[in-house]
Structure 1
Amino acid sequence: MSQNYNNHKRFYPLFHFITIPLTVLGLGLAIYTVISIPNIVTGLIALAFVLILFTAFMARMFSLKAQDRAARAEEKLRYFILSGKPLPAQLRLRQIIALRFASDDELISLVDKTLSGNLSPQEIKKEIKMWRGDYHRI
């Protein structure tokens, strides 16, 4: 299936629909247990669930940051290959990430339009006529 604006967001089911909900449920049960049976063991269990949830979110954040850095580097190179000029420094990271969906034919004009109109990432994505799918980012 080809990507477009309506279906480009991706989820990793094991993380988004199993790990996080189960951890939140476990944290809720641990907090309930701490309230109903307050002792050191239930307190440590609740603390463990807080740490697990925090670790899961931090791991997700770190992986997204690494993917953002890679996408920024790819788009800088692609823009340079297409235009012979460096990607304008005024672009924000979120704008660059959104521009990765633009085809080679429309990238340069869309960068110009983004700079002149200070388009948001959502506006950039909506402006794209020939969608270039990103099937690797999760």
Structure 2
Amino acid sequence: MTGQNFTNHKRYASGYHFLLSLLLLAGFAASIVNVIKQWQTANFMGAFLILLLFICGFQIFWYMRSFPLKAQDRAIRAEEGLRYFILTRQPLDSKLTIAQITALRFAPDDELIPLTTRTLAENLSSDEIKKAIKNWRADHHRV
């Protein structure tokens, strides 16, 4: 496996991120066209229910991804808080956002403390934090 860095650390599940989103979008568009065509007929209710199912599908698609990510964010916050405490004997500053903490997880132990201090001083974004890391600490468990 090649080393992880800023340019290749993002992971996508092709079937989910690309195929399913494309299929939902195509079905949603087709169901809107169907509702418009069936507007004045007796079949309007069936067309409307199909549209409603695609709207529900989009909701499921969104929340199926966001709920596990929130759980992963909580785990990362706890793990990085513990790692920072072990290194400094101080808790991680509560001013750090979850996006900053998830970016800091890629920093090795010797870069974590100075990068955390810099992040707090300059309010670095997650991309700025990741770009500032010299020796990337890979995380292959998050999709």
Give the structure-2-normalised TM-score.
0.93
**Residues 35-90 of structure 1: CA deviation (Å, up to 9, x unaligned):** 11221001100100110111110111111111111111110011111111111111
2:31 aligns with 30
**% identity of equivalent residues:** 49
Q: How does 1:60-99 map to 2 (within 5 A)?
A: 60-99=65-104
Counterpart for residue 105 of structure 1:
110
Q: Larger radius of gyration, structure 1 or 2?
A: 2
Q: Which amino acid aligns with 2:38?
A: I
Distance in 2 of aligned mates of 1:2 and 1:130:
10
Task: Please identify runs of 4+ aligned residues in structure 1 that moved more than 2 A.
Answer: none
Residues 19-58 of structure 1: matches in 2 within 5 Å? 19-38=20-39, 39-58=44-63
Q: Which residue of 2 aligns with 1:6?
A: 7
User: TM-score scaled to structure 1, two decimals?
Assistant: 0.96
Q: How far apart are residue 128 of structure 1 and its match?
A: 0.3
State how far apart, in whole Å, the 2-side matches of 1:71 and 1:12 are. 21
Give the alignment's Cα RMSD to 1 decimal.
0.9
Gaps of 5+ in 2: none
1:110-121 mapped onto 2 (5 Å cutoff): 110-121=115-126
Instruction: Kindly provide the amino acid, as one letter, of the partner of residue 116 in structure 2.
Output: V
Name structure 1 gaps, 5 residues minimum.
none
